[in-house]
């Protein structure tokens, strides 16, 4: 009998809608980095090809596993520009499904290089894996949960993994209560504590993710995206990529965000003064 079943009565727990997770056939771990670490343990490549356009934190699992990395370029459509012969049979290739809009490219890479491709779907929560490839996403990038990510691919398991020991949820509660600055400070500390250790997803995140109306979330994201594209598309240098969200063949069921690249400096202070906090992805990278 589990510790949970041994305790009956006393007081009530959180009332969370009971449902089913969206990713029922994936391995549920604590973070995208944890998923990548577990995938690298299974794949064991001699070297990994990684795009220049990637978050620094994505490199941590490679460093932790002692796997050398080589970098490749992406073109103006965010498609890979690989050197001839890469990746070799013992190497792997990490490709980012940028903004959740490059699922078609990810699937083509997986087909061209069977069992050598790892797709970073952290910006594409609704993607459900690829044939003969590994992939992972991040629930934290799409929903208000303390942790949670899902990994797909041959040989992955979380059966013997302990759950993540430290669950940070104060920022979620304070955001709900309207204490925005306190919540933001707590959120930053929570993000800094994210580990590459392949812990299982917390029980709290599991319950929360099983109670989400995923169809409703998808519909609202698509609607919001369409409004932004209608208002900003004409001045967006990424318009060809952004317009891909309306092509259902690319698997962009619910894009991560609207990718906007404009000429000149962005007036961030003006935007922030209106209490609009839009993401700036990977500000450490410069074109």
pLDDT score recorded for residue 7: 78
pLDDT score recorded for residue 196: 86
Cβ burial of 9 (10 Å; 0-12, 13-18, 19+) is exposed
In this structure, are residues 133 and 118 in contact, taking their beta carbons and an 8 Å threshold?
yes
- From first to last of its 287 residues, the chain has per-residue pLDDT tens of 444 556 788 888 888 888 999 999 999 999 999 999 999 999 999 999 999 999 888 999 999 999 999 999 999 999 999 999 999 999 999 999 999 999 999 999 999 999 999 999 999 999 999 999 999 999 999 999 999 999 999 999 877 889 999 899 999 999 999 999 999 999 999 988 898 888 999 999 999 999 999 999 999 999 999 999 999 999 999 999 999 887 654 555 788 999 999 998 888 899 989 988 887 877 666 44
* 284/269 Cα distance (integer angstroms): 19
* CA 245 from centroid of its chain's CA atoms: 17
pLDDT score recorded for residue 1: 42
Q: With a threshold of 0.95, does the pTM exceed it?
A: no
Q: Dig out the tokens for 93 from the structure.
A: 């290739």
pLDDT score recorded for residue 104: 93
Instruction: Spell out the alpha helix ranges (H) of the chain.
Output: 3-6, 32-43, 60-65, 103-112, 170-177, 180-192, 203-209, 214-232, 239-242, 268-273
* 61/38 Cα distance (integer angstroms): 9
- The fold for domain 1-287 equals 3.40.640
pLDDT score recorded for residue 12: 81
pLDDT score recorded for residue 252: 57
């Amino acid at each position: 009998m589990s510790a949970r079943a041994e305790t009956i009565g006393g007081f009530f727990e959180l009332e969370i809608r009971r449902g089913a997770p969206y990713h029922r056939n994936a391995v549920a771990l604590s973070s995208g980095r944890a998923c990548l670490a577990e995938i690298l343990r299974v794949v064991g490549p001699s070297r990994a090809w990684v795009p220049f356009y990637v978050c620094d934190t994505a490199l941590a699992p490679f460093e932790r596993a002692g796997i050398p990395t080589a970098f490749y370029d992406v073109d103006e459509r965010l498609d890979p520009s690989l050197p001839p012969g890469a990746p070799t049979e013992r190497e792997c290739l990490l490709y980012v499904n940028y903004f959740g809009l490059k699922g078609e490219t990810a699937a083509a890479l997986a087909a061209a290089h069977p069992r050598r491709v790892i797709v970073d779907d952290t910006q594409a929560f609704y993607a459900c894996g690829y044939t003969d490839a590994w992939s992972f996403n991040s629930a934290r990038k799409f929903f208000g949960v303390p942790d949670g990510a899902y990994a797909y691919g041959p040989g992955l398991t979380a059966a013997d993994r302990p759950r993540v020991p430290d669950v940070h949820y104060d920022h979620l509660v304070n955001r709900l209560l309207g204490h925005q600055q306190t919540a933001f400070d707590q959120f930053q500390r929570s993000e800094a504590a994210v580990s590459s250790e392949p812990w299982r997803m917390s029980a709290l995140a599991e319950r929360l993710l099983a109670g989400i109306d995923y169809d409703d979330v998808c519909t609202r994201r698509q609607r919001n995206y369409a409004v932004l594209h209608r208002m900003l598309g004409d001045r967006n240098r990424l318009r060809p990529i952004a317009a891909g969200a309306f092509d259902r063949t690319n698997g962009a069921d619910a894009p991560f965000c609207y990718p906007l690249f404009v000429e000149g400096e962005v007036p961030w202070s003006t935007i922030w003064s209106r209490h609009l906090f839009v993401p700036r992805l990977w500000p450490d990278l410069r074109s």
